[in-house]
Amino acid sequence: MLKQRVITALALMCVLVPALLFNSQAPMAILSLTLCAVGAWEWGRLNGLSFSVSSVLGGVCSLMCAGSWYFEILLIPNYYFWLICTGLWVLIASALLRLGPTRWLNISLPLRLVGGVLALYITWLAIYQAKAMSINFLLSIFALVWMADIGAYFFGRAFGRRKLAVNISPGKSWEGVWGGVIAVILLSWAWVLIDQSRLGSTDFSEIPNKIMLDQLSLFSLLGRKGLVIQILALIFMVSMSVVGDLLESLVKRSVGAKDSSKLLPGHGGVLDRIDALLPALPIAMFWSLI
């Protein structure tokens, strides 16, 4: 299993890194569109749709993303749009976690399907806009989610005692969550130092806003708002990445599924890999535009 996970992870990185580093928007836009379309297909399967109907759902998601790209709809960052997306994520996720796995299927099927496709579409928009801002900015969002997951895993194994959501994901603990927060704060500190060294300035307020958006990471943009806001924002983002993970676990538990699919050997499905990114990306866009 470990060998499979490593091979799959390396294969994914071989696709992700070139798309991320390419100057053109096209490679990352196509890659993220494909992942979101596959995620929509998996979402249909998790909600009881047949292979063919789930494929239609994936096609609808890909057409939404491609339509926005082609007609240039919602491709320009807008503070109010991302504020609404952030608010909806907090409110809807809170309500769903209160429902628990046993009552997930009581929600009407069309509502579940629409909600999942919209979440994936919004994720694609966030990736597109973040990549347009800078490679550094988008990479820092990915790194935040990955570091939160790594920190939670090791802290949870070493110190986990109090269960976070035993009815949804028994393996998660509060100690793991705070371990993820600590890991992300340390990552943020290191990343800000690198940005300062690269730009030759320890005071980001001296750098024009245009350069900010073109070159700085999420961590450095948050650092402009002061230490307290930076730490609170990071805690919030780590918490919401955990919420994204819990929501997918809730859906899988409600239908008795272990993974969202078997497409990625050793890792499960696409949704299993991007669940924490679904809330984190829109929220990162919101923070960057305050």
- pLDDT digit string, tens, across residues 220-248: 999 888 899 999 999 999 999 999 999 99
pTM: 0.94
pLDDT at 207 (0 to 100):
59
d(CA 251, CA 101) in angstroms, rounded, equals 6
pLDDT at 206 (0 to 100):
58
pLDDT at 9 (0 to 100):
82
Among the ranges given (23-32, 50-59, 192-201, 277-286), the one the predictor scored with the smallest mean pLDDT: 192-201
pLDDT at 215 (0 to 100):
77
Structure tokens at 223: 């650092």
pLDDT at 198 (0 to 100):
81
pLDDT at 209 (0 to 100):
56
Mean pLDDT of 146-166: 93
pLDDT at 154 (0 to 100):
93
d(CA 103, CA 4) in angstroms, rounded, equals 35
* Beta strands, E only, the chain: 163-165, 169-173
pLDDT at 192 (0 to 100):
93
Structure tokens at 73: 């709809």
Q: Do residues 249 and 163 touch, judged by C-beta distance below 8 A?
A: no
